[in-house]
Structure 1
Amino acid sequence: MKKTLLWIAALVVGAILGVLGLDWLNATADFVATVYTRLFQLLAVPTIVLAVITTLATFGSKGSGRIFGHTLTYTLLTTIAAAALGAVLYVVIAPGNVAVTQLTTDSSPITSNLSYYDHIISIIPNNIVKPFLEGNVLSLLLLAFAVGIGLSKLPESENKSIITKGLLGLQELLFLLIRWLIWTLPLGIVAFSAQLSAQVSAGVVADSIGKYVLVVLGGNVIQFFVVLPLFLLARGLNPIHVLGKMMPAVLMALFTKSSAATLPVTMDTAENRLGIRKNIARFVLPICTTINMNGCAAFILVTSLFVMQNGGTPLTLGTIALWIIISVVSAIGNAGVPMGCYFLTLSLMSGIGAPVAILGIILPIYTIIDMVETAENVWSDSCVATMVNHDLAEKE
């Protein structure tokens, strides 16, 4: 409770500093925020790899297979619910088309030469070192699964024991570094909050696409406070209790805009505050960080419908249903990094010849959207891990 209050206090202080509008203060906040984000990203890659490998190697592929089955089921259900909710809100609120003058005078978005096909191919590693250098989470997950399952299938021997103990030792060292970083985190929260406050006071939110923003943020809020708690209630779990315990991770996600960078905090919070068993938390949460993207699915769907509508594509029921499927699959294949959903949506729209210049109007406010959807993603990860932990405890 004290830690949560300290984080909230840091949030308020940062907001006040950002509103002051002092250039040197904003520059300092940007520097500190960047340092913290890079440090968490630095720890995120080995956290993902070691967590999956040690879990598979220690608990065996059979037990991990059951955990993965439950994780995948809840991931698909929550992600489909998020996309479907976004579709319903889009139809109800019905955002209008953007004026042509805005499309021609506003700056174009950052372009990407990668198609979605290339994005899928890039998941398959052809070099064992390259995924680590690039931080390609999906490739690393594939490698971790292969190594972990391989270790679990090896006959018991001194060599296997040495490798397993070495990996477990590295993981303990990694979590020690994470705890140190978390201890200094209030300073980072002040910087993140000051960053956001300065951007909002500078007029980041654009009125021209207010209804679009309402659909995206409204869908995230409903998914966060209504849909995900209903999933927990259906399993006999108290959503208020779970959210209260996981609040440090949710707040961290809000400000880093990266579920992968937040993963160390999410795992530490799930184990030490919520009481999820280590073998569940260290296996489910890295997987969820990669494939459980509720906020991303909603963003891809709503943004794609908005861009296609502006390009003259009729939004029939069949078209919306098709794009619900596409958005869910795309979100599962998206890495949990800042602006990952934006670039993925840009690639999808480029591939079908939609007017991607509209994404240039969305770009200035994407910072706020990215923050909210990342917090939702981590909250969803927490819900999935809690439900898996509950289900497997009942079967033991």
Structure 2
Amino acid sequence: MRKLFSSLLFRIALAIALGIILGNVLPDSVARVFMTFNGVFSQFLGFMIPLIIIGLVTPAISEIGKGSGKLLLLTVAIAYADTSFAALMGYGVGEWLFPSLVASTESMAQVAKPEDLQPYFTVSIPPLLDVMSALVLSFIMGLGISYGQLQTLRNCFNEMKDVVAGVIAKAIIPLLPLYIFGIFLSMTNSGQVLRIVTIFAYIILVIFALHIIILLYAYTIAGLTTKRNPLRLLGTMLPAYLTALGTSSSAATIPVTFAQTLRNKVSEGIAGFVVPLCATIHMPGSAMKISCCALTICLINGMPHDFATFLHFTLMLGIVMVAAPGVPGGCIMAALAPLASILGFDTEAQALMIALYIAMDSFGTACNVTSDGAIAIVVDKINENKK
């Protein structure tokens, strides 16, 4: 019970419920205190996003580049292609199903910033550099460290990663429930929360169905490659799925994923190489989930959501998410950069993305790690054919 109460999912669910319940009960003078906190926290979050990108992406790129050989390139290419395809699939299904649901919804700007709930004061904390500059710097430094074998710089950025991960774990994540409480308090006060919650309840059901589709197509490809029963291959990975569902951690599930991959007759060398690597770079369930939620917010808010914009977004999302594993809330934190720079999400929209993502976190992780086994099967077969 103590573990349940201390979990981030429980605290965010409680924050949402309290925000809805108290939105029409608390006097405006008290509600404005939470709006003041939200104003300051949103500025801090905006300040941290470029630092999160530099601190997480740079070490990730430098570490991936340490590997060598065609097997590494093959695995990275498959993982990136699958992650990007899953995100685009989420966009395609969303474009088909979501517009009719949200067409009559009022602008999120009116929901998130009602005129009668203003903060008592605001604090400006401008970021040191913009998001795109942070991304470009991360790639330059990561590739430079990798190819130049610059151990001093590698150590510096690894220590920066520790600092950034500490800020996420000790400051941002613990304060998120309070921030999300303020968002839903404001939404309730504006009278729009019921419509928004109803829309996202429907979106969540669609996302769960898409997780199943991702696993089915991944193991269908693996089955066709090896001429084996894809459902049997997927069934063998069920312990990994359930472990990830319980731990919400790709890293913690690696031993189980590895063991079940071996049971699918993948060679030990390939399984030992592919499974840990894909736990770092292969995020189809998470990318699809982020794409669906982002599209929904764009539709609600009347923001651009054409294919070219989302293609740019999903291709960048697949890259920045290599930094996600091992950091609490890492996937959605890394995604804040392209959400802000490409889709133009403000801090209120980002807060809703965080709440929605964490509500389904364990299911996305389970989809990610289970589909890692499919990549291992394909890579093992390709490697076998080359011998």
Q: Same fold, TM exceeding 0.5? A: yes
Pair 1:231-2:221 in alignment = yes
- Aligned position for 2:82: 78
**Within-5 A mapping of 1:189-200:** none
- Aligned position for 2:297: 307
- Aligned position for 1:41: none
Pair 1:287-2:277 in alignment = yes
Q: CA deviation at 1:31?
A: 6.6
| AA aligned opposite 2:347 | V
Contact 1:112 1:343 in 2 (8 A): no
Q: CA deviation at 1:387?
A: 1.2
Q: Distance in 2 between matches of 1:382 and 1:346?
A: 28
Deviations 1:236-268 (CA, angstroms, capped at 9, x unpaired):
232222222222222111122221232233223
Structure 2 gap segments, 5+ residues each: 10-59, 120-124, 146-152, 164-195
1:68 to 65, 72, 90: 72
**Within-5 A mapping of 1:136-175:** none
- Aligned position for 1:5: none
Q: CA deviation at 1:213?
A: 2.2
- Aligned position for 1:247: 238
Q: CA deviation at 1:283?
A: 1.1
Contact 1:308 1:355 in 2 (8 A): no
Q: CA deviation at 1:81?
A: 2.5
| AA aligned opposite 1:374 | T
Deviations 1:281-315 (CA, angstroms, capped at 9, x unpaired):
11111211111111122133223333333443232
- Aligned position for 1:386: 377
Q: Distance in 2 between matches of 1:276 and 1:324?
A: 30
TM value normalised by structure 2:
0.59
Deviations 1:11-62 (CA, angstroms, capped at 9, x unpaired):
xxxxxxxxxxxxxxx215557999xxxxxxxxxxxxxx9xx99x97xxxx5x
Contact 2:280 2:325 in 1 (8 A): yes
**Within-5 A mapping of 1:1-396:** 26-29=1-4, 65-95=69-99, 96=102, 97=105, 100=108, 102-104=111-113, 115=131, 117-118=133-134, 121=137, 124=142, 126-128=153-155, 131=158, 134=161, 206-224=197-215, 226-235=216-225, 236-271=227-262, 273-335=263-325, 337-352=327-342, 353-396=344-387
Q: Distance in 1 between matches of 2:269 and 2:356?
A: 39
Deviations 1:341-391 (CA, angstroms, capped at 9, x unpaired):
221232323335423313433444433421111111111211101111122
| AA aligned opposite 2:158 | P
TM value normalised by structure 1:
0.58
Contact 2:218 2:371 in 1 (8 A): yes
Q: CA deviation at 1:127?
A: 4.3
Contact 2:324 2:330 in 1 (8 A): yes
Q: How many residues align?
A: 277
Contact 1:94 1:211 in 2 (8 A): no
| AA aligned opposite 1:241 | R
Q: CA deviation at 1:112?
A: 12
| AA aligned opposite 2:220 | L
Judged with a 3 Å threshold, the aligned counterparts in structure 2 of structure 1 residues 356 and 208 are, in CA distance, closer, same or farther, namely farther
Identity of aligned residues (%): 25
Q: Distance in 2 between matches of 1:330 and 1:32?
A: 26
- Aligned position for 1:9: none
Structure 1 gap segments, 5+ residues each: 1-25, 35-48, 137-204
Superposition RMSD in Å: 3.9
Judged with a 3 Å threshold, the aligned counterparts in structure 2 of structure 1 residues 350 and 66 are, in CA distance, closer, same or farther, namely closer
Judged with a 3 Å threshold, the aligned counterparts in structure 2 of structure 1 residues 269 and 370 are, in CA distance, closer, same or farther, namely same
